[in-house]
Structure 1
Amino acid sequence: MMVVRPIQADDYTALRELARKTGPGFTSLQDNDEQVAGKIEAALEAFKPSSLPDEALYLFVMEETDTGDVVGICGIEAAVGLSEPWYNYRVGTLVHASRELNVYNQIHTLTISNDHTGYSELCTLFLSPEARHSKNGALLSKSRFMFLAEFPQRFNEYLIAEMRGYSDDKGVSPFWEGLGRHFFSLDFAEADTLSSMDKVFIAELMPKNTIYTNLLPKDAQEAIGKTHEATTPARKLLEAEGMRYTGYIDMFDGGPTLVSRTNDLRAVQDSRYVKAHVMNDKTEHQPEGEFYLVSTTDFASFRCCMTAVDIVGNHVVGLPQAVADALQITEGTTVRIVPMASGRRF
């Protein structure tokens, strides 16, 4: 049984191991002792019951309850860009036309932007390769929507998600090679690592003027808004829930930024409260069929699982004992549920 729960101090070793698997371009969780320790420290502070920091980092891990192994991580930043600048490129269009010469050209441009300052961000989604099966990735990602729905006062009206941009099988980003390298004189992996620690140097080194994309190499142009192969399933999942690419990209690898109003997300909008009936494994028929996300209403001890349920009337669901144990709930506990499938509504 997989359960998503808030990260704890003793998860450091497991998180450090996950960080070794992420690879180049995964800015929010890198193979770096200092970054991993800092993230756990920030998350523990955010989950203090009396804490409501403007830039809280809520980190969750996916745990296999049978073994206690941590196999994945995901997070939500309450707000970005408040204490240090939040940069990306806005993709625009300029028209160059001449009636006399019968010329009409539409040219794409890149302009440095801080437009998403203050937005909440879905971040740090990573699942160990050996656990990428049985809808585990969907549970890990969508569990955050249940937390957003339960504690809306902790988040912005708008939500973003930066998707990892395209790089080849050697970890080379054509967008970086065609643009960023000219101003930073660094390899992509090195610049990406530095950006996760300190974003000030971006403003110091990147060009301030508008960039015409037709001056970039062809492969760099083609990488604009393109998602890394390993991240494409995550992008499709978020788009199915209501997030959209609106023309903002990462300054380093050209990956797309998805945006949505938080309340417009399908899982946030459609989830509802029910009472839990914990089913007897020996005397009651166990539920089958469609999976639901089921989450608790507690803050510091928030938990989320996916399971088939028996819906009794409009206010009660039957849950297998193993699910109740994973959620740490008992008979009659109020839980939040929503259909797992993005196309389903109650």
Structure 2
Amino acid sequence: MLLIRPIQQSDYPALMQIAAESGAGFTSLPVNEQKLKQKIAHSEHSFAVETDKPGNQGYLFVLEDTESGEILGTSGIEASVGLSTPLYHFHQSTVVHHSNELNVFNPVEVLTMCNDYTGVSEICTLFLREPFRNGLNGRFLSKVRFLFMAEQPKRFAKLVIAEMRGVADDNALPPFWQWLQTYFFSIDFPTADHMIGVGNKGFIADLMPRHPIYVSLLPASAQQVIGEVHENTKPALKLLENEGFIHRGYVDLFDAGPTVEAQLKQIKSVRQSHRVKVVIEADTAVRKGVNQLAVCNCETLNFRATFTDDCRFDSERNALLISPAAADALKVADGDFVRYLNLDKGAK
């Protein structure tokens, strides 16, 4: 059975492996022992703390194969970003150069560095290891965050963002970065990427251009990737677009990947998830469903989630019928509440 749960200290070797596999550009998981162990400890504290408002909490989940004990991937949520360290973006907008005398009306795109997303929640750290990118694994790993947020809305901001990885060449170097390195920095991309990953962001404010940048003055290679995503990130972006996330012109400083946003209450999986009582049904013929459902308990510290078609919603009893094995994995008993969501494509 595949199970999603909060990360714990014993998962450190698996998290380090995932950090190494994720490669350059995946700044939320730096290949750094101290930072990864801090991230685990911070997550454990965040799940344990009692709060009714978003703050400096970070929730990190792992996807585990309960039979083998292997960790297949990660998924995370930051409750409120930009509070302890600034969160920078470029915002792409249009200015108009206009002269009545010359009869010239010339709109031009500019990039302006900003902190507009300070205080919002962020879904992040989504990574499914290559051998397990099949079936509904990726969909489950992404959507489980929305089940948790739907169950714990007071822990999160009204607006939710996701930073998508930008385009990189065969050497994992973003074309957008190259002009920045040439004119503003004296360090290479892996160094800058590592510094951001371990939280050393002061150099951004020190060295980044402080005035709006005219996009038309950038090299063509940089212009072409603004707002575009890495090939490996396209499935994740499509999932979020289907959830209702949109791009409003905010892009990453270094690879120009888009940041997308949605109101928490308007996210499709939040709206379409249901909170019901559970009935443990031993008879497979009675409980067997036709759709793959993601199901989670309603806990915080002991949060558990799985997906299966071996369950169904019984409208007469207004309850979800699940197997004893699923109940054991979710740590629920008859009469407990769970939240479920249809994972099948096109589900309404």
Q: TM-score range by the shorter chain?
A: over 0.9
- State which of 204, 207, 215 in structure 2 corresponds to 1:205: 207
- State which of 243, 255, 258 in structure 2 corresponds to 1:256: 258
* Residue in 1 that maps onto 2:338: 335
* Residue in 1 that maps onto 2:28: 28
* Residue in 2 that maps onto 1:238: 240
TM-score, normalised to structure 2, is: 0.94
Q: Which amino acid aligns with 1:235?
A: L
TM-score, normalised to structure 1, is: 0.94
Does the CA-based 8 Å contact 1:287-1:320 persist in structure 2?
A: no
Mean CA deviation greater in 319-328 or 237-246? 319-328
C-alpha distance in 1 between matches for 2:47 and 2:9: 12
Does the CA-based 8 Å contact 1:95-1:107 persist in structure 2?
A: yes
Does the CA-based 8 Å contact 1:179-1:216 persist in structure 2?
A: no
List per-residue Cα deviations over 1:295-327 (Å, max 9, x = no partner).
100110111112223221162122233322321
Shift in Å, 1:203: 0.4
Q: Which runs of 5+ in 2 are unaligned?
A: none
C-alpha distance in 1 between matches for 2:329 and 2:171: 40
Q: Which amino acid aligns with 1:217?
A: P
Shift in Å, 1:178: 2.2
Q: 1:322 and 2:322 equivalent?
A: no
Give the secondary-structure state (helix, strand or coil) at the position aligned to 2:144: helix
C-alpha distance in 2 between matches for 1:265 and 1:342: 16
* Residue in 1 that maps onto 2:313: 311
Mean CA deviation greater in 53-62 or 68-77? 53-62
**RMSD of aligned residue pairs (Cα, Å):** 1.7
Q: Show the 5 A alignment for 1:284-299.
A: 284-285=285-286, 287-299=288-300
C-alpha distance in 2 between matches for 1:292 and 1:58: 23
Mean CA deviation greater in 324-333 or 221-230? 324-333
Does the CA-based 8 Å contact 1:195-1:202 persist in structure 2?
A: no
Shift in Å, 1:181: 4.2
* Residue in 1 that maps onto 2:194: 193
C-alpha distance in 2 between matches for 1:330 and 1:181: 61
C-alpha distance in 2 between matches for 1:86 and 1:43: 20
List per-residue Cα deviations over 1:119-175 (Å, max 9, x = no partner).
011011111101111110111110000110111111111111000111012101000
Q: Which amino acid aligns with 2:183?
A: H
Does the CA-based 8 Å contact 2:51-2:155 persist in structure 1?
A: no
* Residue in 2 that maps onto 1:61: 62
Does the CA-based 8 Å contact 1:6-1:300 persist in structure 2?
A: yes
Q: What is the total number of aligned residue pairs between the two structures?
A: 344
* Residue in 2 that maps onto 1:113: 114
C-alpha distance in 2 between matches for 1:50 and 1:157: 19
Q: Which amino acid aligns with 2:328?
A: D
Mean CA deviation greater in 50-59 or 217-226? 50-59
* Residue in 1 that maps onto 2:174: 173
Shift in Å, 1:333: 2.3
Q: 1:104 to 1:341 in 2, by over 3 A?
A: farther
Q: Show the 5 A alignment for 1:275-290.
A: 275-280=277-282, 284-285=285-286, 287-290=288-291
Mean CA deviation greater in 210-219 or 93-102? 93-102
Does the CA-based 8 Å contact 1:245-1:256 persist in structure 2?
A: yes
List per-residue Cα deviations over 1:49-100 (Å, max 9, x = no partner).
4467711011100000111111101110010111221111010111223455
* Residue in 2 that maps onto 1:220: 222
Does the CA-based 8 Å contact 1:240-1:342 persist in structure 2?
A: no
Does the CA-based 8 Å contact 1:59-1:75 persist in structure 2?
A: yes
Q: Which amino acid aligns with 1:203?
A: A
